[in-house]
Structure 1
Amino acid sequence: MLTALKRIVRSSWISVLLIAGIVAGAVIGHMWPAAGELLGSRVDATLLVLVTLLFFGVRFEAIVRAWGNLRFLGLTLLATYVLVPAIGYAIASVVLAAHPLFMVGLVIYFMSPCTDWFLGFTRLAHGNVALGTALIPINMVVQLLLYPVYLHLFTRGPVEVDAGIIGNTLLHWFLAPLAVAVLAHYGLRRLVGTQRFGRLLHRVDQAVPWVIALLVMEIFAANIAVILEHRSVFTWVLLGVFIFFVFTYFLGEGISRLGRLAYPEHALLTMSIAARNAPLMLAVTMAALPGQPLIYAALVIGMLVEFPHLTVLQRVLLDRRERGTSGCHAGHGTSAHEGARNG
């Protein structure tokens, strides 16, 4: 529990870092345009560092844990890659119909499930953390494979998307860093031992928010003039994100009841379809769709709202669990929770 609490505290600091990055980048780009251009020229290098760090922390051997719960895995994949993207597209296309580039950014934000911090919130909500760990590499791989498909389906018109360019982008910008990160992960783990490698993973985990904040600062420093021209749209982006979180909550409730999920799996499903993978999608999108600051800004705004929402969501789940109205069998849920903790 203490570790999970630390993660939530760190999550609040991520929001602070993102705001600081936005403000610093905006001030630099507005006051010193040459310095803003210089920061913008460093975006590619920062992207490579961010993607490599994100991949470095993933344990792909955890996939084998999911095979023991194929029913839950099937429900989660259906919700995550069919229902949630459809809901997200419907919301974004209605709320931001007059602002197509912001709409594209919001759709990209909505379509990609989180692969890291949702697990801390799942633990606080007494969800099935062991099964959640197995979802991380699955979501990482599937969302990258589906990214060009979703982009083709949902963004026709606002941006020109070339499937060949996206394929090359994923190959050179993400599959290559993935190979480097995986080799480094397993090589260093064998070389330095489990205990020291665990400390290294912790340091990498701590470094990721700072790299994201640096990337956000570079984006805003290089593109603040264009972003300020559309500042009135930010309220609509926030409204779209809020509506999305409401809909995904009720989607999780409905699937959990229809699937008769025990509480730990119910909590895990709710958190996994609510949390989004903005850092990776920001990196992917900047490489696949260069020169689109409004799309990037929509992704950053969604990230700012997400942490407070997940904090409230875990409290709602715990309250429902304590009142016995979560739609799960109390005895079965407790037993499954103990199994998750032991796992």
Structure 2
Amino acid sequence: MLTPSSPERLPGVAVTSFLLVAAIVTGGVLGHFLPDTGQWLGERVDHTLLALVGLLFFGVRFGALVQAAGHLRFLVIALLANFLLVPLIGYSVASLFLSAHPLFMVGLVIYFMSPCTDWFLGFTRLAGGNVALGTALIPINMVVQLLLYPLYLQWFTHQTVQVEAGTLGDTLLHWFLVPLVVAVVLHQAGRWLLGQARFERVLHWADQATPWVIALLVLEIFSANIPVILEHRSVFAWVLLAVFVFFVLTFLLGEGISRLFRLRYPEHALLTMTIAARNAPLMLAVTMAALPDQPLVYAALVIGMLVEFPHLTALRRLLLAASRRFPPSGTPSTPAESGLPNSPAAIASPPSLGHK
């Protein structure tokens, strides 16, 4: 999603939500009343996709992986939850509610199976979670989900969409792995040439631009495909219900895992956020490249992205209310059990919601 170098650089929840809604409405109106304009916008999707992928990858801090060495226990827990348990829950929910609408089901499965690599960190900070460790999760989640994407697509959607493994691998290589390498090189070169302070400003501008690029991509999708999408508008209620049930189940999963492994509150909050937030922007880009001309699949991803913002806001309030039953963050009850050192800097007082 908006891949931050720090949570303070994320744009506001209300602004991003407004941009997405405005993009859907504007794209739908243009596609319906000015179909030629809608088609022209649809033909620009590839350029917008490339810009979005570049922005998402450019902001990743792979240097944060150094912090992961001392937190292997938590990282294993988070990886198993994000890439084994959550995809199984997501596939079950999508199959339950949308088996009669296979393309929407595919879109939801893709949305459910990929953990967020951006705005979950801002909400983790707002909930008083371990932001330092969350920063280390970002590059891990991004690389693992890109590598697993072909496998998930084959396992969970093989009866609905047919994709040759070689074609999918080639798409990921040229559209994502190569841009990832280029973006990382540019990131490191920019940090070295500009210095930390000036480069942080560049990252800030990139983060501020990302929601606008996502909105442009959504506008292009809806403007070029609004007739097909409107034909299936009655399915949207089922998509919303499925997303709601998924979020409830992932919250319960986070609670159960945290109790089972007796995580301290900062790690509990981080785990809850990382298994709740999904990587809709990156998955939208990947899916549009891997599965061209599937607007119903894309629409399901966009709907999930819209619901996610209010969900994470509510989740933050639930976590803060539940934090009272945890020991003070400075004195974990059983350090040996937690496997994680205290990190007071990572659980600083939450800022206002002006930035995530």
* Map of 1:35 onto structure 2: 37
AA of the residue aligned to 1:299? L
Q: CA deviation at 1:340?
A: 2.6
1:34–1:74 Cα change, 3 Å: same
CA contact (8 A) 1:58 1:137 kept: yes
Unaligned runs of 5+ in 1: none
Please report the TM-score for the alignment, with normalisation by the length of structure 2.
0.91
* Map of 2:332 onto structure 1: 332
* Map of 1:161 onto structure 2: 163
Counterparts of 1:1-343 in structure 2, within 5 Å, are: 7=10, 10-322=12-324, 324=325, 326=326, 331-332=331-332, 336-338=342-344, 340-341=346-347
**What is the RMSD computed on CA atoms of the aligned residues?**
1.8
Unaligned runs of 5+ in 2: 1-5, 336-340, 349-356
AA of the residue aligned to 1:69? H
List 4+ stretches of structure 1 deviating above 2 A: 3-7, 326-331, 333-337, 339-342
Q: CA deviation at 1:67?
A: 1.4
Moved more, 153-162 or 126-135: 153-162
Moved more, 229-238 or 176-185: 176-185
AA of the residue aligned to 2:271? L
Q: CA deviation at 1:327?
A: 8.6
Number of aligned residue pairs: 337
CA contact (8 A) 1:46 1:215 kept: yes
1:196–1:329 Cα change, 3 Å: closer
CA contact (8 A) 1:125 1:317 kept: yes
Q: 1:268, 1:279 → 2: CA distance?
A: 21
Deviation sequence 1:222-264 (CA, Å, 0-9, x none): 0000000000000000000000000000000000011111110
Deviation sequence 1:264-296 (CA, Å, 0-9, x none): 000000000000000000000000000000000
1:44–1:261 Cα change, 3 Å: same
CA contact (8 A) 2:125 2:347 kept: no
Q: 1:155, 1:291 → 2: CA distance?
A: 16
Q: 1:4, 1:139 → 2: CA distance?
A: 17
Could you tell me the percent identity over the aligned residues? 67
CA contact (8 A) 1:127 1:263 kept: yes
State the secondary structure of the residue aligned to 2:332: helix
Q: 1:23, 1:210 → 2: CA distance?
A: 15
Higher helix share: 1
1:283–1:185 Cα change, 3 Å: same
1:5–1:239 Cα change, 3 Å: farther
Please report the TM-score for the alignment, with normalisation by the length of structure 1.
0.95
